[in-house]
Amino acid sequence: MAKINYTPPQTVKSFIKHFAPGKLFFDWIIGPVGSGKTTGIFFKLIYLAKLQAKSPVDGIRRSRAVVVRNTFPQLRDTTLVSWNYWFKDGVAGKWKATDKNFVLMFDDVECEVLFRALDTVDDVARVLSLEVTFAILDEFVQIPKDIIEALSARCGRYPPTLDGGATNWGMWGSSNPGNEDDWWHEYLGLGDAERPNNVTFYGQPSGFSPGAENVENLPGGAGYYDSLAEGKSPNWVKQFIEVQWGFSHAGKPVITTFSSEIHVAKKALIPNPHLPLLVGFDPGMHSALIFGQHDLDGRLIVYDEIVVDDYGAVRLLTDKVKPLLKARFPDYEVIFAPDPAADSRTPTDESSVVDVLKDKKYGGFTVKFPDMNNRLPLRIDAIEHFTTRLTAAGPALLIDPRCKRLIRALAGGWRYALDRKGKRAEEPEKNEHSHPGDGFGYLARYAQHTEARAARRKLLPAPARNFNNYAHGT
């Protein structure tokens, strides 16, 4: 193979050189368009093919890789174009057009590279019957989870023991960000779940950042991304240039007036110890608590959240709520504003969630309802009372950036399903986003109805009247 001059961007270089000798590994890189990540997945193959053991028969380092793309047009028009730019037929190896295989040959390395798409059930079956050393996924966020899991079991099966066996084997890929609803978001450790131990994730900088990678190879150089962004939607720019995971548009958001740019603080917010802490609470085995304050300017300030599954009221208060209150809100007056249904007694011990909240063993909290009506339209109206107003201090709603679950819910995760004709369902989907949305609705409804602001102002001692240091960020 003729000499190739290739200098990878810094993040891509780290991605290329990472592997786990002697065990299955998964390496994934996400970046903006034009960042050099697709080229990186090919040169990672070059690097790892050279590290394979020599065959005891003839001293050749053999390996086999399958390069997978979701559809054949994508494979032909993008993936293969990138491959052929660097590894030319007759120079870097031999191209077998009928089989869509390239036999890469350099030094003592012989690596068979299979290019495959997943257009049909038969295509998928053929890919999942392969025996390979490596699997490489171009735009991996488009590949379903069951295919990833099945394909991982095909890695390390080549070369056979007669030729020295696989020294290292695994799966890797590159992609632009997908949607936060994708299973990939949790799998890569970007949500609430922990990343598996054998998975490594590499994130390239935003195309707008001073550390943007590969700009020297892009038309227009450093101005490439500014030019590219012109005429694009804000969501497209965030996802494909700023490397932020997008939101699915598979339904209609419950709250259409929420804006992350307007309603999410740029820095951490400082709670005001002189005002009550309000807790919107959607109880149940899938529980959400939203912690905020209604300040003297009429703003609803949200500082924290707890979203859990399979927690009863007692365990939730003991293991989650009380430690958070002790750490972030010590000695605050705490008022719970739960779903009015929380006052219903259970058939087992005739106690209710409200009874548990009020029990001194678990905190002895104050519980208040604006009324006993928990209809969704009333909660939406209360939320929009804050999302649609400006106060003398700024937007009437301000959320600490740590409240990722609530922000995701309000940005579209809490949504109505749409049928094929685009007709909206009567009720929002019950999903992981609906619970923080409901909890926030109870908080907003209580804050909208409370008339305690004037009373609080009278009760505050004179030295505590300067509120300028609170909820402005640190």
**How many angstroms separate the CA atoms of 239 and 42, rounded?**
24
**How many angstroms separate the CA atoms of 127 and 117, rounded?**
8
Domains and CATH numbers, the chain: 10-217 (3.40.50.300), 260-465 (3.30.420.280)
CA 233 to chain centre: 20
pLDDT of residue 342: 85
Q: Is pLDDT of 406 > 50? A: yes
User: 337: pLDDT confidence band, cut at 50, 70 and 90?
Assistant: very high
Nearest partner of 305 among 159, 135, 442, judged by Cα: 442
Q: Is pLDDT of 101 > 60? A: yes
Q: What is the pTM of this model?
A: 0.68
pLDDT of residue 128: 94
Region 210-230: what's the mean pLDDT? 94
pLDDT of residue 456: 46
Query: Is 96 within 8 Å of 102 (Cβ atoms)?
Result: yes
CA 218 to chain centre: 28
**How many angstroms separate the CA atoms of 146 and 139, rounded?**
16
DSSP E strand boundaries for 12-133:
24-30, 61-69, 93-96, 101-106, 109-117
Q: Is pLDDT of 20 > 80? A: yes
Which amino acid is it at 181? D
